[in-house]
Amino acid sequence: MDYETLQNAVRPHHLTIVGAFHPKPDDTTPDGTGTLVLLAPAEPTFWPHFTASPEYLDGAPDPMNRWSTRTLTTIAKPLDATPLFPFGGPPYLPFISWATKSGSIHASPISLLVHNDQGLMISFRGALALREKIPLTPPRLTPCLLCAAPCETACPVDALSEDAYDTAACHSFLDTPAGADCMTKGCKARRACPVSQDFARNTEQSAFHMRSFHP
Protein backbone atom coordinates (compact mmCIF):
# COMPACT_ATOMS: atom_id res chain seq x y z
CA MET A 1 0.00 0.00 0.00
CA ASP A 2 1.12 3.59 -0.63
CA TYR A 3 -0.03 7.13 0.05
CA GLU A 4 -1.90 7.49 -3.24
CA THR A 5 -3.84 4.26 -2.65
CA LEU A 6 -4.96 5.60 0.71
CA GLN A 7 -5.88 8.98 -0.72
CA ASN A 8 -7.95 7.26 -3.38
CA ALA A 9 -9.75 5.26 -0.69
CA VAL A 10 -10.81 8.33 1.30
CA ARG A 11 -11.41 10.78 -1.58
CA PRO A 12 -14.92 9.46 -2.51
CA HIS A 13 -16.00 10.23 1.05
CA HIS A 14 -14.80 13.83 0.73
CA LEU A 15 -11.98 13.29 3.22
CA THR A 16 -8.27 13.88 2.79
CA ILE A 17 -5.06 12.78 4.48
CA VAL A 18 -3.58 15.62 6.51
CA GLY A 19 -0.78 13.79 8.27
CA ALA A 20 0.76 10.41 9.06
CA PHE A 21 3.56 8.95 11.14
CA HIS A 22 5.11 5.67 12.21
CA PRO A 23 4.13 5.21 15.87
CA LYS A 24 6.45 4.21 18.66
CA PRO A 25 5.38 1.95 21.53
CA ASP A 26 4.46 4.92 23.76
CA ASP A 27 2.19 6.63 21.20
CA THR A 28 -1.04 4.96 22.42
CA THR A 29 -1.93 3.42 19.09
CA PRO A 30 -3.40 -0.08 18.65
CA ASP A 31 -0.92 -2.94 18.92
CA GLY A 32 0.68 -3.72 15.60
CA THR A 33 0.15 -0.26 14.09
CA GLY A 34 2.77 0.43 11.42
CA THR A 35 1.34 3.77 10.23
CA LEU A 36 -1.17 6.14 11.80
CA VAL A 37 -3.01 8.27 9.20
CA LEU A 38 -5.00 11.38 10.16
CA LEU A 39 -8.08 12.30 8.13
CA ALA A 40 -9.81 15.68 7.75
CA PRO A 41 -12.67 17.09 5.65
CA ALA A 42 -11.77 17.80 2.03
CA GLU A 43 -13.02 21.32 1.45
CA PRO A 44 -15.04 22.76 -0.16
CA THR A 45 -16.93 19.58 -1.09
CA PHE A 46 -17.21 18.02 2.37
CA TRP A 47 -20.08 20.11 3.69
CA PRO A 48 -22.52 19.48 0.78
CA HIS A 49 -21.66 15.78 0.99
CA PHE A 50 -22.25 15.64 4.73
CA THR A 51 -25.53 17.58 4.66
CA ALA A 52 -26.93 15.06 2.16
CA SER A 53 -26.10 12.15 4.49
CA PRO A 54 -28.71 10.19 6.48
CA GLU A 55 -27.01 11.18 9.72
CA TYR A 56 -27.50 14.89 9.02
CA LEU A 57 -31.05 14.48 7.78
CA ASP A 58 -32.48 12.18 10.46
CA GLY A 59 -32.59 14.83 13.18
CA ALA A 60 -30.88 12.64 15.77
CA PRO A 61 -28.06 13.97 17.99
CA ASP A 62 -24.38 14.04 17.01
CA PRO A 63 -24.79 13.72 13.23
CA MET A 64 -21.14 14.53 12.45
CA ASN A 65 -19.75 11.95 14.85
CA ARG A 66 -22.19 9.31 13.66
CA TRP A 67 -21.29 10.05 10.04
CA SER A 68 -17.60 9.80 10.91
CA THR A 69 -18.06 6.47 12.66
CA ARG A 70 -19.94 4.95 9.74
CA THR A 71 -17.67 6.38 7.06
CA LEU A 72 -14.30 5.56 8.62
CA THR A 73 -15.47 2.06 9.51
CA THR A 74 -16.43 1.57 5.86
CA ILE A 75 -13.06 2.88 4.66
CA ALA A 76 -11.07 0.84 7.17
CA LYS A 77 -12.53 -2.59 6.46
CA PRO A 78 -10.98 -3.29 3.01
CA LEU A 79 -7.70 -1.76 4.19
CA ASP A 80 -7.54 -4.08 7.22
CA ALA A 81 -7.17 -0.92 9.30
CA THR A 82 -8.57 0.15 12.66
CA PRO A 83 -10.67 3.34 12.66
CA LEU A 84 -9.96 5.75 15.52
CA PHE A 85 -11.91 8.85 16.56
CA PRO A 86 -11.32 12.12 18.47
CA PHE A 87 -14.66 11.71 20.26
CA GLY A 88 -16.30 9.04 22.38
CA GLY A 89 -14.41 9.70 25.61
CA PRO A 90 -13.39 10.14 28.26
CA PRO A 91 -10.77 8.90 27.95
CA TYR A 92 -9.95 10.51 24.62
CA LEU A 93 -7.30 9.41 22.17
CA PRO A 94 -4.26 11.75 21.89
CA PHE A 95 -5.07 13.26 18.50
CA ILE A 96 -3.16 16.48 19.29
CA SER A 97 -0.02 14.55 20.12
CA TRP A 98 -0.45 12.37 17.03
CA ALA A 99 -0.93 15.45 14.87
CA THR A 100 2.30 17.11 15.99
CA LYS A 101 4.24 13.95 15.12
CA SER A 102 2.97 13.94 11.55
CA GLY A 103 5.40 16.54 10.19
CA SER A 104 2.60 18.57 8.59
CA ILE A 105 0.68 19.81 11.66
CA HIS A 106 2.26 22.09 14.23
CA ALA A 107 1.62 24.18 17.34
CA SER A 108 0.66 27.75 16.45
CA PRO A 109 1.27 31.08 18.24
CA ILE A 110 -2.22 30.79 19.76
CA SER A 111 -1.92 27.19 21.04
CA LEU A 112 -4.26 25.78 18.38
CA LEU A 113 -2.94 23.38 15.78
CA VAL A 114 -1.96 24.71 12.36
CA HIS A 115 -1.66 22.61 9.18
CA ASN A 116 0.70 23.41 6.34
CA ASP A 117 -2.16 23.64 3.84
CA GLN A 118 -5.36 24.08 5.89
CA GLY A 119 -3.92 26.48 8.45
CA LEU A 120 -5.94 26.99 11.62
CA MET A 121 -9.02 25.45 9.99
CA ILE A 122 -7.57 21.98 10.49
CA SER A 123 -9.97 19.50 12.09
CA PHE A 124 -10.06 15.73 12.33
CA ARG A 125 -12.81 13.31 11.48
CA GLY A 126 -10.69 10.40 12.63
CA ALA A 127 -7.61 8.32 11.93
CA LEU A 128 -6.71 4.95 10.45
CA ALA A 129 -4.27 2.61 12.17
CA LEU A 130 -2.63 0.59 9.41
CA ARG A 131 -0.62 -2.55 9.95
CA GLU A 132 1.78 -1.62 7.14
CA LYS A 133 4.63 0.82 7.54
CA ILE A 134 4.06 2.84 4.39
CA PRO A 135 6.46 5.48 2.99
CA LEU A 136 5.73 8.98 4.27
CA THR A 137 6.18 12.43 2.81
CA PRO A 138 9.09 14.46 4.30
CA PRO A 139 8.33 16.69 7.32
CA ARG A 140 7.55 20.32 6.55
CA LEU A 141 8.35 23.49 8.50
CA THR A 142 5.44 25.26 10.15
CA PRO A 143 3.84 27.95 7.96
CA CYS A 144 3.89 30.26 11.01
CA LEU A 145 7.61 30.91 10.48
CA LEU A 146 6.88 33.26 7.56
CA CYS A 147 3.62 34.69 8.90
CA ALA A 148 2.85 38.03 10.56
CA ALA A 149 0.50 36.09 12.88
CA PRO A 150 -2.74 38.11 12.62
CA CYS A 151 -4.30 35.29 14.65
CA GLU A 152 -2.56 36.63 17.78
CA THR A 153 -4.67 39.79 17.86
CA ALA A 154 -7.88 38.57 16.25
CA CYS A 155 -9.66 37.19 19.33
CA PRO A 156 -11.90 39.92 20.82
CA VAL A 157 -11.26 38.72 24.40
CA ASP A 158 -7.63 37.57 24.06
CA ALA A 159 -8.64 34.03 24.96
CA LEU A 160 -5.87 32.48 22.89
CA SER A 161 -2.14 32.63 23.56
CA GLU A 162 0.90 30.49 22.88
CA ASP A 163 0.70 28.97 26.34
CA ALA A 164 -3.00 28.56 27.00
CA TYR A 165 -6.59 28.71 25.78
CA ASP A 166 -8.93 30.54 28.16
CA THR A 167 -12.06 28.57 27.35
CA ALA A 168 -14.08 30.30 30.08
CA ALA A 169 -13.44 33.74 28.55
CA CYS A 170 -14.24 32.39 25.09
CA HIS A 171 -17.54 30.81 26.13
CA SER A 172 -18.59 33.89 28.13
CA PHE A 173 -17.97 36.12 25.11
CA LEU A 174 -20.01 33.84 22.85
CA ASP A 175 -23.03 34.42 25.12
CA THR A 176 -22.94 38.18 24.43
CA PRO A 177 -24.40 40.06 21.43
CA ALA A 178 -20.83 40.77 20.26
CA GLY A 179 -20.19 37.03 20.18
CA ALA A 180 -22.78 36.51 17.45
CA ASP A 181 -20.17 37.08 14.76
CA CYS A 182 -18.10 34.15 16.01
CA MET A 183 -21.19 32.00 16.54
CA THR A 184 -22.34 32.46 12.95
CA LYS A 185 -19.05 32.79 11.07
CA GLY A 186 -16.63 30.83 13.26
CA CYS A 187 -13.68 31.71 15.47
CA LYS A 188 -12.14 35.05 14.45
CA ALA A 189 -8.63 33.85 15.21
CA ARG A 190 -9.02 30.85 12.91
CA ARG A 191 -10.50 33.06 10.20
CA ALA A 192 -7.54 35.44 10.46
CA CYS A 193 -5.01 32.77 9.48
CA PRO A 194 -3.65 33.57 5.98
CA VAL A 195 -3.05 29.89 5.22
CA SER A 196 -6.70 29.07 6.03
CA GLN A 197 -8.22 31.35 3.40
CA ASP A 198 -8.61 28.62 0.78
CA PHE A 199 -10.31 26.43 3.40
CA ALA A 200 -12.83 28.96 4.69
CA ARG A 201 -16.15 27.46 5.71
CA ASN A 202 -19.52 28.82 4.66
CA THR A 203 -21.76 30.42 7.28
CA GLU A 204 -24.03 27.38 7.70
CA GLN A 205 -21.06 25.09 8.25
CA SER A 206 -19.37 27.48 10.68
CA ALA A 207 -22.56 27.90 12.70
CA PHE A 208 -23.01 24.13 12.90
CA HIS A 209 -19.54 23.67 14.38
CA MET A 210 -19.91 26.60 16.76
CA ARG A 211 -23.20 25.20 18.10
CA SER A 212 -21.39 21.93 18.77
CA PHE A 213 -18.62 23.81 20.57
CA HIS A 214 -20.96 26.16 22.44
CA PRO A 215 -24.50 24.71 22.58
The parts of the chain modelled with pLDDT lower than 50 are none
Domain encompassing residue 27? 3-213
- What does the alpha-carbon distance between residue 195 and residue 200 come to, in Å, rounded to a whole number? 10
Convert the pLDDT of each residue in 134-159 to its tens digit: 999 899 999 999 999 999 999 999 99
Q: Give residue 108's pLDDT.
A: 96
Convert the pLDDT of each residue in 192-213 to its tens digit: 999 999 888 889 999 999 999 9
Specify the amino acid at residue 83: P
**Per-residue CA distances from 41 to 31, 34, 134, 172 (Å):** 27, 23, 22, 29
Cβ neighbors of 205 (< 8 A, separation 6 or more) are: 47
The CA-based angle 42-72-90, given to 5 degrees, is: 105
Q: Give residue 199's pLDDT.
A: 84
Q: Give residue 201's pLDDT.
A: 86
Q: What is the domain count for the chain?
A: 1
